[in-house]
Structure 1
Amino acid sequence: MSDIQAARKDTLRAAARWYALLCSEEVTAQQKHAHAAWLAEDPAHTHAWQEVEKLRRQFQAIPGTPALDALQIKQRQGHSRRAVLRGFALLAAGSALGSLAWQRAPVDSWMASHRTARGERREYTLAGGTQLVLNTATALDVVETSTTQLIRLYAGEIFIRTRNETGKVAAAKTLQVHTEQGTVVPLGTVFTVRKLGTSTQVTVLEDEVELIPQSGGGKTQHLVAGEQAQMSSVNVEVATASDQADSWTRGLLVAVDWPLNRLVAELSRYRTGVLRCDPSIAGLRVSGAFPIDNTDRALSAYSKLIA
């Protein structure tokens, strides 16, 4: 085993131990703070923690998983919940070290500390003044240490402003946004981050940010105002951003020469039920501002345009 593999193994085992500890009924506030500090020490710690959590979700999604059945038997036999959780966590670390192929698992958004329902938006202000706006169907956690504010985005989209109205940096702490694909580090800025399945979309509205793909070998990519990037776990693709990328924070979806099927897909994010576009008109070009707080009104407005 190489030194790199050994280090990764140790980190995964540490993440497993943290998982068992934090799932215990006896966990203390001091231990939670220590865990947050451990996450902030090294991006590898965060990546290992995400692997343990992802494997837990994947096991839960498989009916009759032998490993979980065995743990349930142990619990019925009188073992403590903490011991059972530690067994699972160590199993998770061991599996992560193997050749298990990850498949995208649904996010347990109900466990997140901050979340929105479909069609809902919410605003939060973090300690220090950083402003967050959560878009529809968004789930995230905020982890605070003495030096770092860590936002872990599981699903959806967020708008972040790290400068206040006087132009000063709002938070003295280092802000980081983590997704499955990597890390976003703002350099005193206004930007949005959106989860798109196997990629993360980052749009910079003011100043700049630094993107660090999870498996990019330490390579980073800077984005400046007016740029948008799709970040996978290994690389970053940069393009020009729309100047209306944050229009959703004002309750609008602004389309500029979009194909109709794109408009329908975007509007469907804000409403329950199924919304589809007939293939025969999917390519029709659309421009306009559509209210996302009343998608029926938006669809009615468009139908009048093409009537």
Structure 2
Amino acid sequence: MLQHAVEARPAGSGYAIRVETGQRLRFDRQYSHPVEPLLAHRDAWTHGQLIASDWRLGDFLDELSRHRPGYLGYAPEVSELRISGAFQLADSDTVLDNLSHTLPIRIRRFSRYWTRVEAAPGQWTKP
């Protein structure tokens, strides 16, 4: 929750769980996990940013793809590279281009809506 509070009632549990500002709750139809503190920077997207701290590149690209139109895929061999930083979501193409200058990757754009991140030829060493 970023503001206020909410009650969640998983259908199979029969009881309500209150989630306050600064907390999060993961649940499905049958089960709920314990209420946890909201992770730092989880609301950065509301300010147009994606903040990563030692993330797997695959996880970063999965999250980035939620904020851009079309398909953003990646080759399995680049998924374990690590990344940290604050990135502006307004121009994800520039984010990708900058990553290609700092990591051993290349960005292949097949169309405006189809982009793939791959290992850079001749520069690849496994992490």
Fold match, TM over 0.5?
yes
Q: Which amino acid aligns with 1:234?
A: Q
1:261 deviation in Å? Answer: 0.7
Pairwise CA distance, 1:270: 2.1
Aligned partners of 1:240, 1:281: CA distance in 2, in Å? 31
Match of 1:283 among 42, 66, 80: 80
1:257-278 Cα distance to aligned partner (Å, 9 max, x none): 2111111111111222321122
TM-score, length of structure 1 as denominator length: 0.31
Q: Distance in 2 between matches of 1:303 and 1:221?
A: 44
Counterpart CA distance in 2 for 1:208 and 1:287 is 31
Point out which structure has higher relative CO (alpha carbons under 8 A, 6+ apart).
Answer: 2
**1:143-186 CA distance string (max 9 Å, x none):** xxxxxxxxxxxxxxxxxxxxxxxxxxxxxxxxxxxxxxxxxxxx
| Structure number with higher helix proportion | 1
- Structure 2: gaps (5+ residues): 105-127
Match of 2:108 in 1: none
**Please, which of 33, 36, 46 is the counterpart of residue 249 of structure 1?**
46
In the alignment, which residue of structure 2 is the partner of 1:264?
61
Relative to 1, partners in 2 of residues 1:208 and 1:290: Cα closer, same or farther, differing over 3 Å? Answer: same
Q: Which residue of 2 aligns with 1:304?
A: 101
Match of 2:68, SS state, is: coil
Find the aligned partners of 1:278 and 1:264 in 2 and give their Cα distance. 11
Output the amino acid matched with 2:76.
Answer: P
Question: How many aligned residue pairs are there?
Answer: 103
Alignment partners' CA distance in 1, 2:13 and 2:27: 14
Deviation per CA, 1:204-259: give whole Å up to 9, x if none. 2355432112x134311122343222121122224332221111111111112211
Q: Deviations over 1:111-150 (max 9, x none)?
A: xxxxxxxxxxxxxxxxxxxxxxxxxxxxxxxxxxxxxxxx
* Structure 1 contact 226–243 (Cα < 8 Å) conserved: no
Residues 97-119 of structure 1: CA deviation (Å, up to 9, x unaligned): xxxxxxxxxxxxxxxxxxxxxxx
Q: Is the CA contact (8 Å cut-off) linking 1:260 and 1:277 kept in structure 2? A: no
| TM-score after normalising by structure 2 | 0.68
C-alpha distance in 2 between matches for 1:207 and 1:290: 28
**Contact conserved, 2:5 with 2:20, CA < 8 A, in 1?**
yes
Corresponding residue number in structure 2 for 1:90: none
Q: What's the Cα RMSD here?
A: 2.0
Q: Which has the larger radius of gyration?
A: 1
Aligned residue for 2:2, secondary structure, equals strand
